[in-house]
Amino acid sequence: MASMRIASQIGYAAGIKESVDQLVELEKAGLDLVWVAEAYGIDAVSVMGYIAARTERVQIGAGILPLYSRTPTLIAMTAAGVDYLSDGRCVLGLGASGPQVIEGWHGVAYDRPLGRTREIVDICRQVWRRERVEHDGPSYTIPLPPDQGTGLGKPLKLIVHPVRDRIPIYVAAIGAKNVELAAEVAEGWLPIFFHPEKASDVWGDSLAKGLANRSPELPPLEIAAGGIVAIGEGLDGVRDFARPMVALYVGGMGARGKNFYNDLVKRYGYEKEAELIQDLYLDGKKDEAAAAVPDGLLEAMTLVGPRGYVRDRVAAMKEAGVTVLTTTAVGPDPVATVAELRDIVDSV
């Protein structure tokens, strides 16, 4: 098997310029890809363009662009623009996000995420092939029918010639049907909170169904997953840095009875713990919710410990199908950590 690529993440809060300064050094240390998040802070695309100007080799991924915040053709234009500015380094990460952000921030109904994903992927690929875009689906009709507008719309094709007619699309998904769709239509899959030892039990059937219907024109499915990384002795407490985020998603991203991340942790076998985290978080006890995140879950989803232990975790990720190891280096020298991780990954 080929060596895994190493990826990192840039968030959507303050310190983005400083993060990109560090990214320049991480690129030199062996980083292959950077994911740029988008929620309701700074938009991802502006940051991706800035990264394109500051870097030379690292791939630049949207991690992720929500399905609902842009029209399908604008998503395609955006990816083509970043691909042009970066000389062919764009990766288009797509996902549904969640109802709080989509309805609460964008004011758009959170509906048909599965169907929208399939339609957007199809439309984007039409745009990049410079076809005159025509699409008639449940969520999108292009051009707009005369009875819904002025009647002046006509099929158009991208004015410019894109750098590539096939920009890689990665789909963020954790639900059974969403994962199946990602395996069927996308170049890559972006799962969150990836537990390598339990991934096959949770997602194996969905991946198999999707791959069975995968077009032979598509390359083998990439899987981008990982967690925080710190290499050395006496670092067990470093995993605690992941607690607040896990608690936020498992406890606060959704309501009781409708939280995709809570459901995932339950499928990993932590039913009582997931319910406790949610109860505490929704009651405003965020610190207690973070403390309730199981140590075993944190250990499975991170790469923290002595070099030999981290190598074992990298091997477990690779055995579970991970091809893009997405990490956040924690410690005084993230660049040195990534350089050492690069050496470890190349040895697995």
The rounded average pLDDT for each run of 10 residues, N- to C-terminus, in the chain (348 residues) is 89 85 97 96 96 98 97 98 98 94 96 98 98 98 96 97 98 97 98 98 98 97 98 95 96 88 97 98 98 98 98 98 97 97 97
- pLDDT the model gives residue 1: 58
- pLDDT the model gives residue 236: 85
- pLDDT the model gives residue 69: 96
Residues 6+ apart with CB under 8 A from 50: 16, 17, 20
How many other CB atoms are found less than 10 A from the CB of residue 71? Answer: 12
What's the whole-model pTM score? 0.96
Provide, rounded to the nearest whole percent, the portion of the chain with pLDDT above 70.
99
Helix axes 199-212, 176-185, angle to 10 degrees: 50
Outline where 227-333 has alpha helix (H): 243-247, 260-267, 271-282, 286-291, 295-300, 307-319
Radius of gyration of the chain (CA): 20
How many other CB atoms are found less than 10 A from the CB of residue 114? Answer: 14
What is the tens place of the pLDDT at every residue in 78-112?
999 999 999 999 999 999 998 889 999 999 999 99
How many other CB atoms are found less than 10 A from the CB of residue 304? Answer: 25
What is the tens place of the pLDDT at every residue in 164-175?
999 999 999 999
- pLDDT the model gives residue 137: 98
Q: CA dist 59 to 9, 92, 110, 278, Å?
A: 12, 11, 30, 36
Give the C-alpha separation, 302 to 72, whole Å: 35
Which two structure tokens, joined as six digits, stand for 294? 């199981």
Specify the DSSP element, H or E, that contains 8.
Answer: strand 5-10
